[in-house]
Structure 1
Amino acid sequence: MKIQLPLKKGTPNTQPEIEFEQLVIIGANGSGKTRFGANIEERYKKFSHRVSAQKTLSIPNFVSTKSKEVAESEFLYGSWDKNDYYKNSGWRDSRWGGNINTFLLNDYEKLMVLLHTEEYESSLNYKEKGGEKPNTKLDRIQKIWEIVLPHRRLSKKAGVIETYPTGEVEQIYNASEMSDGERVIFYLAGEVVCSPENSIIIIDEPEMHIHKSLIKILFDLIENERQDCSFVYLTHDIDFAFTRQNATKIWAKSYESTGLWDYEILDNTMPIPEQLYLEVLGSRKPIIFLEGDNSSIDYEIYEQIYFNYTLKPLGSCDKVIECVKSFNELEGFHNIQSYGIVDRDRRQIGDVINLNKKQIWVLDVAEAENLLLIENIVKALATHMGKNADEVFLQVKSNLISFFSSQLESQILLHYKELLRREYYKLSNFQSQKIDDTEIEINSLFEAINKRELYNNIKSDFETAITNNDYNTVLRLFNLKKALIPESKVCELIGIRNKEEYRKMVITLLKRKDENATILREGIDLMVIKNVT
């Protein structure tokens, strides 16, 4: 979605234009975040829907259905009339009571009426015309709600929603008696599911009444449910902001005057400004530094695996190692634990052990992209696409090992080159104090390097992997960026057009937070070496 932001203080004042899928406006209380969101809503009113922080969460015990046209209009615009007055110009007065910034939004009943109306009409249409069983808006909300709150279940009846503990139907009670957290999770999911197609959904204080452990799961599911929409979040909670890892972030400093804000669009490659930490609560989660950037595959994958960590891509492996070292040296000052994850590349086991001691975790595959080809991911995607998982994996395995065999000599030499580089680096660690003695020591160390033996050992390891048909070892050894997925033929085998679609499907399955996603996360986590000795 491309929009023009509200007027930004400067010399001269400007209205930046940005393109985004998720936008987080973060700032202290009183910095003008709500007005910022209302400004966007008013300028893009024909395709936006805003959820106020000031809202009543009172669920009616029972609602009656209406015509779908009336129910939708009352939900979206506050009222209905056949001339579309409220839709076109009267929505400020009807939905927002004439004050779009501070009015207490009271639309839970309108939401429930719309949901039950759509449920009734979908069921009636299915009864009369047959076809595929409808997946109603209530069905979609129920799925999200029960994933976020796995210890509870929802029950739908005519005009009524009830809830009960999982496996204890006899303890059922009306949804009006749900806790604030349970009600707001249903409400937010409902507001998003019922928003118009391809709209901007603006949510003020999305973290309100929701336990921090549930926030990431909820909004991952909500965003995944409405991939056609763009999301704007208004928050003072930096922990929430960190859960929207790929979002464009704006620091709202202050509301200067009518229609003018002092704000800053944060550069994703730079750390969040120190002032922001002083104005809002800082994240107290442990941090994991990563290679790559916000768009790299390792960042996308780890974001779905390590929920309880703040992730920070730094670019190079050396920066990750350096930053973890520096950060942990200051742990007594900030009390935040720091870790790093780096690719295996061509590291020997001794190198992995030394990195683990420094709280650097190492992939057990050559590079992050190889994670997409581990067995349980290939099988999960094959099953998802209706293919025989075992047959697909066996063919992928055969294709990849065959391709590895064709690249054997070049791969051996790459590993050999890296091993020699490390051996030669050791020559600089001489102990002698005089140049004559130093030359003797270096020459002695150099002559002690058996270059042919190093090569033969690497060659033997590679050939053994092929002889044993050892797929996991091949993934650990095989460094050839962007080639492995195409050469494995996995996309053709499961019916996906290209590598990018394959990658997106992996992330989508991980975001679902169901049993299959748990299996995928655990499988990937096992490929990260953390405590080898």
Structure 2
Amino acid sequence: MEQVESTGTLNVIEINTGADTKKIEIKPGCPVFILGRNGTGKSALVGMLSTKLGKNLVFMPGSRPGHFEHEGLSLTHAARRDLAVNFPHWDANPDTRWKVISGTARNEKAIHDLQNAELQYKVDAANEIKAEGAQSSAIARLQSNNAPLDRINALLSQSNLQVRVLISEGELKAQRGDAVYSFARMSDGERAALIFAAEVVAAPDGAIFLIDEPELHLHPAIVVPLLKALIAERPECGFVICTHELGLPSTSVESKIILVRGCEWSGNEVESWQVDVLDAPEEIPEWLRVDLIGSRQKILFIEGTINSLDHPLYSLLFPKVSVRSRESCREVMRAVEGLRAVEKMHRAQAFGLIDHDGMDEKQVLDFESHGIYPLPIFAVESLYYSADVLAGLAAQQARTFGLPVEQLQHEAKMAALQAVTAKGIPEHLASRISERHIRDQLLLALPDRKMMVEGAQKHIEFKLESPYPGELERIKQMVSAEDIDAIVCRYPVRESGMLNGIAKALHFNGRTDYERAALILVGINDELQQSLRLKLGKLSEMLV
């Protein structure tokens, strides 16, 4: 029998396969994705889970409508309490898989809960200020852009949506440019994204979100960054997502995939499923990719591993692009060259980002002719901590804390210089960039099979000049010139303590808070987006 048993903060899904039972843990921050062809029993599996995941479940069924009955909220507090009782019974009805029993009540509840959360946040802060006076920490909390609506607007921005929400005349409203209007009049995709974000932001700690086909009403360029942002927004919660969008599992290193191949029915109920449990998106079989991949899309391959910094930022800068990570320059080249060699057989346009590593103009032009763009920055931190982002966040923090912006900028520069001049740090950074340069040069120089056959050499020799002395002198000159931006652009400063020093000097708790604030700022600042895109050179012209 299928069931879910709780063990502390974990939930375990048990799926009867006839021959045995598949068990999949739902862990905080580790989403579970359900994939499969149409007609294999995915919706029935979701229906079963909706009755088994316990009282902390937040269910978003695939049969949900995407609209509201009224322009404003009509749901009372008493009706909201009744819904909490009724939803489990409605979800247990097998007809829920194809029939909307609850009408638009789920959407109303999401907006109701969001509006209440915003009100409670502000009331709690007001009560603290009333009790503690001008020295209350609640003042800084109110200025921190971390209220429920601030978080909603950050999520919408990271999802490439140009609309925001606010409270106006006591009601939740949408705003685009100077126009303010009812949330019910948002576009289909904007409403869907708002409802998802509202459900996630307003949910209690430890909730499990069961989301069926989030791509309904949402473009892939929106649903992929939206779901990634939602998972990052509630790292203490669990996510189970049934989808046809193959880009979603690739957004999380820790994800599990339930691949549904078929099921056995007995009357109106499923007796067993044929499922496989995959540990990585790379294990998704080719037949499923062929079945589910849709129209032509642009894919950007970048050097490095999947992390929380690259994808949201590149999604903001290039909203129509799917970002994929590869471990090395060579792997980026192989991915781009492989896809471009068979463009007539698929519907993707591949581009690559690799590090510049001191290439001359001829080498750069040669790479660009193959869709691979060398960049004059070391890593994504070079964008997060660029001079323009630092200036924007310094101005924001100066307003929040009532300090001169020049003081914050100076303190950030001094903290960065102190970190980068610490004992052994210049040598470490110079050696790391030199090591990377040598590695990439060796990989590029490796002969392929054709070269080995034609050369027929017994020994393969490489001769490279060490870049270390020049790099050490370069970084010392940058330090003398106090050119923080140049250091951030060229070296792996995440290994120096420099980034945390900058964050603390700007009165953030640490790098995580700084980088989250940077994403919010980039999301709402078109000029800053353009400035960061310009740092990416010719590639931005191809992807925008």
Counterparts of 1:377 and 1:230, CA distance in 2? 32
Q: Which residue of the partner structure matches residue 43 of structure 2?
A: 34
1:471 aligns with 2:484: yes
TM-score normalised to structure 2 length: 0.71
1:366 aligns with 2:378: yes
Please tell me whether the aligned partners of residues 405 and 466 of structure 1 are also in contact (alpha carbons under 8 angstroms): no
Q: Which residue of the partner structure matches residue 108 of structure 1?
A: 104
Letter matched to residue 418 of structure 2? N
Letter matched to residue 35 of structure 1? A
1:328 aligns with 2:340: yes
Unaligned runs of 5+ residues in structure 1 are 79-90
Counterparts of 1:422 and 1:486, CA distance in 2? 28
Q: Secondary structure at the match of 2:22?
A: coil
Unaligned runs of 5+ residues in structure 2 are 1-8, 131-137
Please tell me whether the aligned partners of residues 416 and 458 of structure 1 are also in contact (alpha carbons under 8 angstroms): no
Q: Which residue of the partner structure matches residue 399 of structure 1?
A: 418
Please tell me whether the aligned partners of residues 255 and 280 of structure 2 are also in contact (alpha carbons under 8 angstroms): no
Counterparts of 1:252 and 1:488, CA distance in 2? 44
Q: Which residue of the partner structure matches residue 15 of structure 1?
A: 23
Compare 323-332 and 231-240 and name the one that shifted more.
231-240
1:236 aligns with 2:248: no
Please tell me whether the aligned partners of residues 301 and 325 of structure 2 are also in contact (alpha carbons under 8 angstroms): yes
Aligned with residue 264 of structure 2, among 256, 266, 288? 256
CA apart distance, 1:276? 0.9
| Greater Rg over alpha carbons, structure | 1
Q: Deviations over 1:239-291 (max 9, x none)?
A: 56667787443332223343532223334362532011232234631222233
Counterparts of 1:128 and 1:470, CA distance in 2? 43
Q: Deviations over 1:500-533 (max 9, x none)?
A: x5146415642676325x566545444434469x
CA apart distance, 1:36? 2.0
Counterparts of 1:465 and 1:125, CA distance in 2? 49
CA apart distance, 1:71? 3.7
Letter matched to residue 210 of structure 1? L
Letter matched to residue 332 of structure 1? K
Label 1:302 to 1:154 Cα distance change in 2 as closer, same or farther (>3 A). closer
CA apart distance, 1:7? 1.2
**Identity among equivalent pairs (%):** 19
Aligned with residue 207 of structure 2, among 199, 213, 229? 199
Label 1:466 to 1:351 Cα distance change in 2 as closer, same or farther (>3 A). farther
Aligned with residue 351 of structure 2, among 339, 354, 357? 339
CA apart distance, 1:338? 1.4
CA apart distance, 1:154? 6.7
Counterparts of 1:477 and 1:183, CA distance in 2? 42
CA apart distance, 1:50? 0.8
Q: Which residue of the partner structure matches residue 83 of structure 1?
A: none
Q: Deviations over 1:162-219 (max 9, x none)?
A: 66874356xx6x6666654454444434444443432111122212223444434544
Aligned with residue 82 of structure 2, among 56, 70, 74? 74
Counterparts of 1:473 and 1:138, CA distance in 2? 36
Q: CA RMSD in A?
A: 5.0
Counterparts of 1:301 and 1:176, CA distance in 2? 29
Label 1:464 to 1:30 Cα distance change in 2 as closer, same or farther (>3 A). same
Q: Which residue of the partner structure matches residue 5 of structure 2?
A: none
Counterparts of 2:54 and 2:246, CA distance in 1? 28
Please tell me whether the aligned partners of residues 412 and 503 of structure 2 are also in contact (alpha carbons under 8 angstroms): no
Label 1:363 to 1:94 Cα distance change in 2 as closer, same or farther (>3 A). same
Aligned with residue 60 of structure 1, among 63, 67, 70? 70
User: Structure 2 matches for 1:455-494, cutoff 5 A?
Assistant: 461=474, 464-478=477-491, 482-486=494-498, 489-494=501-506
Q: Which residue of the partner structure matches residue 56 of structure 2?
A: 47
Q: Which residue of the partner structure matches residue 367 of structure 2?
A: 355
Label 1:142 to 1:74 Cα distance change in 2 as closer, same or farther (>3 A). farther
User: Structure 2 matches for 1:513-532, cutoff 5 A?
Assistant: 514-516=523-525, 518=526, 521-530=529-538
Please tell me whether the aligned partners of residues 23 and 248 of structure 1 are also in contact (alpha carbons under 8 angstroms): yes
